[in-house]
Amino acid sequence: GESVGLHLPTLSVQEGDNSIINCAYSNSASDYFIWYKQESGKGPQFIIDIRSNMDKRQGQRVTVLLNKTVKHLSLQIAATQPGDSAVYFCAEGDSGNTGKLIFGQGTTLQVKP
Amino acid sequence: DAGVIQSPRHEVTEMGQEVTLRCKPISGHNSLFWYRQTMMRGLELLIYFNNNVPIDDSGMPEDRFSAKMPNASFSTLKIQPSEPRDSAVYFCASSRGTGANQPQHFGDGTRLSIL
């Protein structure tokens, strides 16, 4: 029979453009959020994190925005490059301070040269 | 610095066989996590350890799965007997500290195929 898998949303951008990947989280008590990048055949790689006492944090070419009012998280990548093509996951820290992360399903970013 | 090291990278075996996956966390990290990733279910947490002690194994699918952490630098995930539905990529991750607000650092996984 036909197998059914997760249908990850896909974002396709032109090289050099900015990318915005969005994520909705469920627990209003979560106080820690993190973005990962996963390339084919590799494990998730930490990109950037943010705590709930902040609404914006910047890294190298990346910015994470947190809107606690609507429980929304976004990752902005400036001047997207072919090497940015990957699946991006957001995750929220367990509000019980256990150290566990709760992962979203992921978004595929495709960069067109 | 060395990251999380997993072995083997690939494992193909017949159903019914015992499978052992190995993980060496980053030195100095106190928490270790085992995940399973499939197309159907995404990334699932199976079990995690704080200071070598299993804290939450509620994600372990069934009794065929077991995990140990005999010391701070080594953990195993064992499947006995293995079944085709166990085919997946298994990741190990470690983090500094035992509370929330800590990034987890992942290994490159073991791709397991059960025939």
d(CA A77, CA A17) in angstroms, rounded, equals 9
Strands A62-67 and B19-24, sheet pairing:
unpaired
Strands A72-77 and A56-58, sheet pairing:
unpaired
Q: Model confidence over B62-94: pLDDT tens digits?
A: 899 999 999 999 999 999 999 999 999 999 999
Q: Model confidence over A33-72: pLDDT tens digits?
A: 999 999 999 999 999 999 999 999 999 999 999 999 999 9
Q: Model confidence over A9-28: pLDDT tens digits?
A: 999 999 999 999 999 998 88
At residue B15, the pLDDT reads: 97
Contact B100 A6 (CB under 8 A): no
Contact B101 A100 (CB under 8 A): no
- Supply the DSSP string of A6-44, one letter for each residue: ----EEEEETTS-EEEEEE-S-TT--EEEEEEE-TTS--
Contact B42 A105 (CB under 8 A): yes
Name chain B contacts of A98, Cβ cutoff 8 Å. 55-56, 99-100
Chain A nearest-CA residue for B98: A99
Name chain A contacts of B106, Cβ cutoff 8 Å. 36, 43-45
Q: Does A98 touch chain B (CB under 8 A)?
A: yes
